[in-house]
Structure 1
Amino acid sequence: MSDDLKKGLEGVLVAESALSDIDGDAGRLIYRGYTIEDLAREASYEEVLYLLWHGELPAADDLETFAEEMAGYRAVDDGVLDTVEELAAAEENPMAALRTATSMLSAYDDAGNEPGDREADLTRGMRITAKMPTIVAAYKRLRDGEAPVEPREDLSHAANFLYMLNGEEPDDTLAEVFDMALVLHADHGINASTFAAMVTASTMSDIYSSVTSAIGTLKGGLHGGANQNVMRMLKEVDDSEKSAVEWVDDALENGRRVPGFGHRVYNVKDPRAKILGEKSRDLGEAAGDYKWFSMSQAIEQYMAENKDLAPNVDFYSASTYYQMGIPIDLFTPIFAMSRSGGWIAHVLEYQEDNRLIRPRARYTGPSDAEFVPVDER
């Protein structure tokens, strides 16, 4: 056994997977062989879920059946909504509220909660993915003093969330952009939250526990909260009397970190950032206001020229979500809504040939400490 220390498990292979692959030097991301560009522009989120969970893109009839089944699982039991209301009244962090409510879903699942049955786990996974948007939208409305909006089964996954969030059916442009954002965030190799889900699953715990572990991991600012920090930065720039370039230059001079740049895997521009950058621009054009896109573009150019850093997916998802009227502190819960598809896919895949994940640490403490009874210390 090698004694080489891999801090953060960087570069360590822990599993084989047929789900997604990243070429960090070429800036390439694929889901089951399909490029993210093709999927984002041509496939719906429901199609991508089917691809991740079943290994192939669905035929039209299969997609219709799958989407209808998913839509039928969107409603959330009153007991869960009552807890969401309590959490909203207490102004709980939205990700913490989502974590708690998702864990509660298992109590109302008539498919049971025992692991190891792939078909039952897939049904549970569909229910989790279908209900998470209902929880997030309900939290937002209850926090704002409004009643939750019941989900509709005749809308797509993306359009239904925006409908529940705002109380009105979104136009085709907003629904399309949001659907694309969900596709872009659906999976990304064995990242921190996916690994957390796999660790939990490797103990043969249930899928609700696995997803709850993943949500708790995504909640951390080094993983899921970056796009929130990007938007707060853009608003700070906008409130200042400086140009975006001047603001960033001063921030770096004062030792501040510019969020949304650099990635543990990519050495070039994140391909998802390219696509979301286009959508940020399109939303600005539709609104007749390029402010957020222009500001982002100027910062991207400055960071490339002066720091040799490229943006990651969080950088342009921030302005995209904000221009859609989504509150900043819901950016990460939306990330979780999308990534649930990848978490569940990895759990199902790993448990097909399960082995308990149990790494070791290099011990650096004393080796010959002499025990002294308490009355002699």
Structure 2
Amino acid sequence: MSKDIIHIKEIILKAAQNAIQETGNEPEPELTKKIDWPIKCSVGPGLEGAIACESKIGYVNGSKGWLVYRGYNIFDLCAYSNFEEVSFLLLHGRLPNSCELETYKQKLINYGNLNKTLRLLMAFPVEKMHVMAALRLGTNLMRQEFTILDTEEGKPDINDAIASDEDSIAMETIPFGSNHAVYEFDKQDTRWFKKTKAEEKARQSIDSIGFEACYHLIAGVSVIVAAISRIHSGKLPLEPNPDLSFAGNLLYMISGKIPSPIEERIMDYCSSYIKDSFWQTPFRT
């Protein structure tokens, strides 16, 4: 580990100490308790006081300066972990062991090979599009490549279908305060993925079988983002380099240059901020 990287680590740990000292006079928050749904709450301006959901993933306390992922303080994760470890933690609720980490890294590399998706994306005037519009298009094209959701084969059974399109707000029926969300992610549900018999057999031996969609999104979105950046710069997209980390690959696929260890580590710090407590946009909508 270089002196520069060690120095950055020391800066992070020092910032953690300062945050603790500066908020030392703030009262300790009460432990969060399980909510007994349905509930009544008073909502103020800006949805102040609204309770949207329960989460075991992220916890934010602004007055104490806390940002916690699955029980780990963000300062500790930035100082001692990388993007792959933090994203695995958010998905699975625990840090990976060495074998799980290597398997996960390899999956992100493999799922970053989106040649067909990128060819389709480049058929559109991406260089004239807003980056978020291009990202939305690229993600939809990736969905078509890896799933059957947009085909007749993916048409849901009448018993599984809902009253409105999955991209709109399903409010044809009165909300009853159910114990589970309508669109709750089932980690065992992989029926929408295109797969060969060999792939299906291989997946049965992996405990994280239902998280393949998340792995595809994590790997694929980074590749699409980098491709859009290069297209906007008049350059062709690059494939991921299997010898680089996730953070290193993002820099490489954007710049075309192998990043230095310190550049790679700084990107790790930046990309580790990947979860606060709740994504407000769909709730407000």
For 1:36, the equivalent position in structure 2 comes to 74
- SS in structure 2 at match of 1:22: strand
**Does structure 1 retain, via aligned residues, the 8 Å contact 2:120–2:141?**
no
Over residues 54-90 of structure 1, what are the superposed CA-to-partner deviations in whole Å (9 max), with x where a residue is unaligned?
110111111111111121100114244432452423x
Unpaired runs of at least 5, structure 2 = 1-38, 157-182, 191-209
Given candidates 227, 237, 241, the residue that maps to 1:148 is 237
Distance across 2 between alignment mates of 1:10 and 1:82: 43
From the superposition, tell whether residues 52 and 4 of structure 1 become closer, same or farther in structure 2 (CA, over 3 Å).
Answer: closer
**Does structure 2 retain, via aligned residues, the 8 Å contact 1:46–1:157?**
yes
From the superposition, tell whether residues 71 and 32 of structure 1 become closer, same or farther in structure 2 (CA, over 3 Å).
Answer: same
For 1:21, the equivalent position in structure 2 comes to 59
For 2:218, the equivalent position in structure 1 comes to 129
Distance across 2 between alignment mates of 1:10 and 1:104: 37
From the superposition, tell whether residues 152 and 56 of structure 1 become closer, same or farther in structure 2 (CA, over 3 Å).
Answer: same
Given candidates 97, 108, 115, the residue that maps to 1:59 is 97
- SS in structure 2 at match of 1:14: coil
TM-score under structure 1 normalisation? Answer: 0.48
The amino acid across from 2:238 in the alignment is V
- SS in structure 2 at match of 1:127: helix
CA RMSD of aligned residues (A): 2.5
From the superposition, tell whether residues 2 and 176 of structure 1 become closer, same or farther in structure 2 (CA, over 3 Å).
Answer: closer
TM-score under structure 2 normalisation? Answer: 0.62
After the TM superposition, list the runs of 4 or more consecutive aligned residues in structure 1 that deviate by more than 2 angstroms.
1-11, 77-89, 110-117
For 2:262, the equivalent position in structure 1 comes to 173
For 2:106, the equivalent position in structure 1 comes to 68
**Does structure 2 retain, via aligned residues, the 8 Å contact 1:84–1:97?**
no
Over residues 179-204 of structure 1, what are the superposed CA-to-partner deviations in whole Å (9 max), with x where a residue is unaligned?
110002x10001324xx2xx6xxxxx
For 1:322, the equivalent position in structure 2 comes to none
From the superposition, tell whether residues 9 and 168 of structure 1 become closer, same or farther in structure 2 (CA, over 3 Å).
Answer: same
Correspondences of 1:174-189 after superposition (within 5 Å): 174-184=263-273, 186-189=274-277
Distance across 1 between alignment mates of 2:115 and 2:216: 12
Distance across 2 between alignment mates of 1:95 and 1:2: 37
From the superposition, tell whether residues 8 and 104 of structure 1 become closer, same or farther in structure 2 (CA, over 3 Å).
Answer: farther
**Does structure 2 retain, via aligned residues, the 8 Å contact 1:84–1:138?**
no
Correspondences of 1:75-94 after superposition (within 5 Å): 75-84=113-122, 86-89=124-127, 91-94=128-131
For 2:177, the equivalent position in structure 1 comes to none
**Does structure 1 retain, via aligned residues, the 8 Å contact 2:117–2:142?**
no
- SS in structure 2 at match of 1:149: coil
From the superposition, tell whether residues 188 and 84 of structure 1 become closer, same or farther in structure 2 (CA, over 3 Å).
Answer: farther
From the superposition, tell whether residues 85 and 139 of structure 1 become closer, same or farther in structure 2 (CA, over 3 Å).
Answer: farther
For 1:45, the equivalent position in structure 2 comes to 83
Aligned-residue identity in percent: 29
**Is 1:191 aligned to residue 228 of structure 2?**
no
Q: Which has the higher helix share?
A: 1
**Does structure 2 retain, via aligned residues, the 8 Å contact 1:85–1:142?**
no
For 1:118, the equivalent position in structure 2 comes to 187
Distance across 1 between alignment mates of 2:216 and 2:270: 21
Distance across 2 between alignment mates of 1:152 and 1:111: 28
For 2:44, the equivalent position in structure 1 comes to 6
The count of corresponding residues between Structure 1 and Structure 2 is 195
Given candidates 133, 146, 150, the residue that maps to 1:109 is 146
Correspondences of 1:301-312 after superposition (within 5 Å): none
Over residues 239-266 of structure 1, what are the superposed CA-to-partner deviations in whole Å (9 max), with x where a residue is unaligned?
xxxxxxxxxxxxxxxxxxxxxxxxxxxx
Distance across 1 between alignment mates of 2:236 and 2:118: 14
Unpaired runs of at least 5, structure 1 = 200-216, 218-358, 360-377
**Does structure 1 retain, via aligned residues, the 8 Å contact 2:116–2:145?**
no
- SS in structure 1 at match of 2:60: strand
Distance across 1 between alignment mates of 2:111 and 2:71: 29
